[in-house]
Every structure is written in C-alpha cells, then in structure tokens.
Structure 1
Amino acid sequence: MITLLLLFFSCNVSPKPINYGTDGCHFCKMTIVDKVHAAEIVTKKGKIYKFDATECMIHFIEDFDTSQIEFYLSNNYTEPEKLIDATKATFLISKNIPSPMGAFLSAFKNKEDAEKFQEEKGGELYTWSALLAKFKD
C-alpha cells in the first residue's frame, strides 16, 4: 500500500514554481530572471521544462514530441510570476515591450488586457495557434 501511495504522489503532473535567478532555461541555458516573460512545459509524465521566455518554449517544441506535453504555460504579463495556460492566452508582439530573447512577445490571460496594452504600446495580437504558425515562418 505504501508503495502505491509513493507512486501516486511521485507522478504528480502539475506546474512547478520557477526559481527566478536560479533556474536555467532549458532551451537557451540563460538564467531565468524576468518574472513576466518566463514559461514552462509539463509533460504527461510530470517532467518540467522551464524557459526564460515563451519564444524559447516555442523553439524547444520544434524538436520535441508534442503529444507528450500536458501543459504549455506562460507568465501572465499583468501578474508577474503567475503561470497561465498558453494555449488559451492572448499574445502581444510589441517592439515597445522587450522580452528576454528579443521577440518582444508577452502573454496575457485576458484578451481585454492584451488589447489595452496593444492600444498603449502598439503591436499585433496572436492566439497560441497563430503564434506557433508565425514562429514557423
């Protein structure tokens, strides 16, 4: 019974907090310090991959079996350190909002927030699927 309980709790498939200033980006190897642009992937087996920017996460999945991914997460620009479901987020690419790897890419939990920042900072809005298509080009 104890072995079964250990197996159950050791296979917990959920996001893990990013340790800013300590954790490294799985793609570019930079230390993750930006609390509004970080990202994370959680596989179906519970393995965690952390990234300093959503653009690193997108480049990482180009050579990854995406059928094994349970969660794609990006930091919500309006709530530093809060990971949100990237597949449901609205993304803004604006030259007036720098991101760690220079893609000027920010994620927003609410489309309304993204539109507000777009009015202030300019740029273009994207859904997750449109963003993936843009980065393939």
Structure 2
Amino acid sequence: MTAESVTPEPMWLVAANVVRWRRYGDAGQELRPGTKSYRGGAKVYVVDTYPGMGHEQVTTVGRARTGRWITVATGSRHLHTFRAQLAYAPAVLRRAEAVAVRPQTREEAEALAGLLERLAAGYRESHHGAPHPTPCRCHTCLVTPA
C-alpha cells in the first residue's frame, strides 16, 4: 500500500458557510453573490488564521465555483455560521496538512469558531462604514429581523 492511498485521519476543523450576498463597491452600495472564489452558501473549512491581523483573513479549503477543491485566503467577513466539525474528506485533510495545521481538539475548534463568528460579524458591520443600500440582501440584513 502506498503512502498516497492511505486515508488521512479525520481532524477537528472550523467549518463555515460563504455569505449568499456581500456588499461591494463604493461604500458597499452594490451586492455580489458569494465571493470571487466561492458560491454563496458554499461550505468551507478554516485551516489557518492570521492572528497578527486580528483574524480578518483566514485560509479556507472548499469547493470553488468550478467544483474543484481550492485553498485560498478569504476575508472572515464573507463567512458565517462558524462551527467545529470533524473533517473526513481526504482532499480537505491533505490540504490542511499541507498548510501544517496541527490537529486540534473539539474544544479548541469550538473556541476558535466562536471567536471567528464574533469577529466576522464586527468586520461585516464596520468594513464599509456606510449605510446599507435599500433594499439590501447582504448577510447582515438577511439574518437580522426588521
């Protein structure tokens, strides 16, 4: 049996979903679906964070708009519903190992997920610093009751 045919051990990672709509352009008055790399609603795994930058950017692994697995830096404000999840997909595990992610416990993944959820919500609100367009379908407006 070759080393490549061995299935990697599952590991706890932080999973999240890409926002369906994000604010874009001058003062955030335009809306765009998902991100350049991911469709809105796509599930991604956070495999690395940039602590010196306040977790504003995270490294994610997920299926691109083309359907292929990609590893890309993503603004945490474009992600929501962070949660700890045991990752089984070999493509995700190989990419996580390539970025030298150390296996973490469920509790560590849950703590990081909670932190990223709070920070991402703040980044979404403060990024453009201007009122939302009317009508607005961005993530914040869709999940906040009127």
Specify the TM-score bucket, using the shorter chain as the normaliser. Answer: under 0.3
TM-score, normalised by the number of residues in structure 1: 0.27
Bigger fraction of residues in strand: 2
TM-score of the pair, normalised by structure 2: 0.26
